Amino acid sequence: MPKTEVILTHNIVGLGGESDQVRVAAGYARNYLFPQQLAIPLSGANKRRIEALKQRRAHREADELNHMNELSQSLSKLTALISVKTGEDGKMFGSVTSGTIADQLKTQFDVALDKRKIHLEHPIRALGEHEVELRLHADVVTKLKVRVESSTPLPETAETAASGDGKGERTEKRGKRPERVQAAPVAEPAAQPERAEKKQRPAKAEKADKAKKAG
């Protein structure tokens, strides 16, 4: 396939940036790059534009670096929460990938980040907190905290249910104790006259004896 040399007028991932001279397939240049104004043919007249393209590229890269530095500072303070389904043994179904994290960043913080900038040596397969490396730029690398939690409710065991019923019974019994305590003082006033009467009988008998002696 014949090749042709072109000057890129825009940054194209995997191909180059503004002002770069690259060789591409002639059909690719003719059918895509030129119609989309992403490149111009390499010629003496077009070479004069290279300096202007280099300046524009330098401004773009400086702005991109500043933006990524600011984004790095913001992301390093965040914790992305990811809910996953687990079995009764607490093991995850499936795993958390860079695509999952990118989706949650967009959903939770409205941060659009290419999943290719999220570096995972292996997919996350365990609950808990993890640190994930973000390669935002050639000169900007930061860490993002990711907390993986289970969205599966824990099963209620029979022992837990029985424990709950026992507490209810103890509470109910404790509530009845004050009634038995209050019943005791009620009977005392009725008993007091009997004791008073018993105390008076010896006094009457003593008076009777004295009256007999006097007679």
Q: Is the Cβ–Cβ distance between 6 and 41 less than 8 Å?
A: yes
Does 86 lie in the same domain as 58?
A: no
Residue that is last in its domain, among 27, 42, 69:
69
pLDDT > 70: what percent of the chain?
Answer: 71
Does 65 lie in the same domain as 87?
A: no
Q: What is the CATH number of the domain that holds 95?
A: 3.10.430.100
**CA separation for the pair 171, 72 (Å, rounded):** 55
In one letter, which amino acid is 89?
Answer: D
Does 43 lie in the same domain as 17?
A: yes
Domain presence at residue 155:
no
Supply the pLDDT for residue 196. Answer: 44
Alpha-helical runs (H) found in the chain: 26-28, 44-47, 50-75, 98-109, 158-214
Does 78 lie in the same domain as 65?
A: no
Q: How many domains does the chain have?
A: 2
DSSP at 35: T
Q: Is the pLDDT at 172 greater than 50, yes or no?
A: no
Q: What is the CATH number of the domain that holds 62?
A: 3.40.5.10
Domain presence at residue 97:
yes
Residue that is last in its domain, among 69, 93, 115:
69
Does 135 lie in the same domain as 102?
A: yes
Q: Residue 46: count other Cβ atoms within 10 Å of its Cβ.
A: 16
SS3 content of the chain, % helix, strand, coil (to 5): 50, 25, 25
**CA separation for the pair 64, 57 (Å, rounded):** 10
Mean pLDDT of the chain: 81
Does 104 lie in the same domain as 63?
A: no
Domain presence at residue 49:
yes
At 131-169, the pLDDT tens digits run: 999 999 999 999 999 999 998 876 654 444 455 554 544
The boundaries of the domain holding residue 81 are: 74-150
Q: Is the Cβ–Cβ distance between 43 and 4 less than 8 Å?
A: no
**CA separation for the pair 161, 105 (Å, rounded):** 40
Q: Is the pLDDT at 180 greater than 60, yes or no?
A: no
pTM greater than the 0.85 cutoff: no
**CA separation for the pair 180, 119 (Å, rounded):** 71
